[in-house]
Structure 1
């Protein structure tokens, strides 16, 4: 049930790209809508790692707890946020290429309840508007930051 798919090539080695992408404390620097991140887990990022992300959407702040549901260093990771009958899952794959690292992204949305099912097209449009360009923003951030 993928509703958003993107890919981008970042002109940096896969280890550097993966490390930057999974440093969730830096999300406010990479994504315009994210205004704050609170790390809820100790230690390195792995399956089960959690953080609280606060976004400003249409002038209102909304927070959600995000959990890493799949993780393989320098290869791929997935995150999931569940709240108010909305189950949002983002999947990232990292592939080393001759130009750098290709990051492939897929977003999925699952809904519970009649109201959410009926509102799903609108919810998808709002999420697309918020996250459609986040890979390009990540690319810009990683390519311009000093290693």
Structure 2
């Protein structure tokens, strides 16, 4: 998909990994910078579901709206957000591998405006590093869960 790509094997069944990974409201337990996530649309999670997310970025609280743009149970899940000239799209795909599940993260970043375009490479590197840590923490979180 884009410059961001990470894969990890989680030693849990596909359905369990998909369910936990796509529960956005658990993000503060898994991602260091995420402080709060709240679903702001009604109904079950699916394409069009929106969340309000607050992250702590270097001591500064940053709010953004995340929108689910793809939700294929036990197969793929994608979310997008746009803020201050930076558009980000994250896609997770899930593949059964024996008793475990491969989780692949792909992401792409689009920037608009001269200043944001100058910093695009730095933004991509920062998100890539953050996402590697996220997948490692996700693995630890899911594998520690009792079935």
Aligned CA RMSD, in angstroms, stands at: 1.3
* Equivalent residue, structure 2, for 1:61: 61
Any idea what SS the aligned residue of 1:115 has?
helix
* Equivalent residue, structure 1, for 2:120: 120
Any idea what SS the aligned residue of 1:101 has?
strand
Q: TM-score, normalised by structure 2?
A: 0.94
1:108 paired to 2:108: yes
Deviations 1:22-73 (A, max 9, x none): 1111000111111111111222210001101111111211111000101100
CA distance in 1 between counterparts of 2:34 and 2:74 reads 24
CA distance in 2 between counterparts of 1:41 and 1:146 reads 30
Any idea what SS the aligned residue of 1:55 has?
strand
Q: TM-score, normalised by structure 1?
A: 0.94
Question: Retained in 2: the 8 A contact 1:75–1:94?
Answer: yes
Pairwise mapping of residues 29-68 of structure 1 onto structure 2 (< 5 A)? 29-68=29-68
Structure 1's consecutive aligned runs of 4 or more residues displaced over 4 angstroms after TM superposition are none
CA distance in 1 between counterparts of 2:125 and 2:101 reads 28
Structure 1 segments unaligned to the other structure (5+ residues): none
Structure 2 segments unaligned to the other structure (5+ residues): none
* Equivalent residue, structure 2, for 1:91: 91
CA distance in 1 between counterparts of 2:68 and 2:145 reads 25
* Equivalent residue, structure 1, for 2:70: 70
